[in-house]
Amino acid sequence: MSGQQSVFLLMGLLSIATAGQPVPFTTAPEPLPFTFLLDEPLPPAAPAASATETSLSPPGTTTTTPNIAVVTSRPGCYYDSGRYKHGDKWEPNACTTCQCMLDRTICYAVDCFFAECVDFEYVPGKCCPMCPNGPNCSLNGTIVSVGEEVQTGPSTTCTCVLPESGAFAFRRPGVMCTTFLERPPQMRLRK
């Protein structure tokens, strides 16, 4: 590209790399690093400068000559005082997974839907609650397993049931009760 000044910016690579993909939750704890290359002479009005006058990155990462200026930042990602290289994955806590991609930190949060029980427990090192006794419901203060029938009155039976499956059925199991009514005396069958 003779006679033109070429500037290559690498900041937009993440958006190009994720085209057509869902964009995850993103954090950027520090200003995003960038790299650009000036491969043609600087315009005549711009005098050649020393490295300290043209530095756009941390000290020691800029070199300048009258014809070529290369400015780079340290590659990698910085998260919570840690440095990671491209492709590294880490878990800052039990509910978050992060990855260094193209010098950007991308973090995914775990989404815990409802626990399928009323006696769930949180286990150290796990993000989502666990059901040590399997799926269950609470009926008048008593824990009832899914599928279990409980007689709650002379003509009422209750069962713990899982919610209907489907795209949006993210609920806890529930209690379904059936009451059997006696027929009025005039409608009883005679023998």
**114-146: pLDDT as tens digits:** 788 999 999 898 899 999 999 998 888 889 898
How buried is residue 182: exposed, middle or buried, by Cβ count under 10 Å (0-12/13-18/19+)?
Answer: exposed
In whole numbers, what is the pLDDT of the chain averaged over residues? 64
- For residue 117, the one-letter residue type is C
- Per DSSP, the three-state class of 56 is coil
What percentage of the chain carries pLDDT values higher than 90? 18
**Rounded to whole angstroms, how far apart are CA atoms 78 and 97?**
14
pLDDT of residue 18: 38
Say whether pTM exceeds 0.75: no
Give pLDDT tens digits for 82-122.
Answer: 899 999 999 999 899 999 999 899 999 988 877 889 999 99
Contact yes or no for 156/133 (Cβ under 8 A): no
Give the distance from CA 4 to its chain's centroid: 43
What are the beta bridge partners of residue 107? 98
107's enclosing H/E stretch is strand 104-109
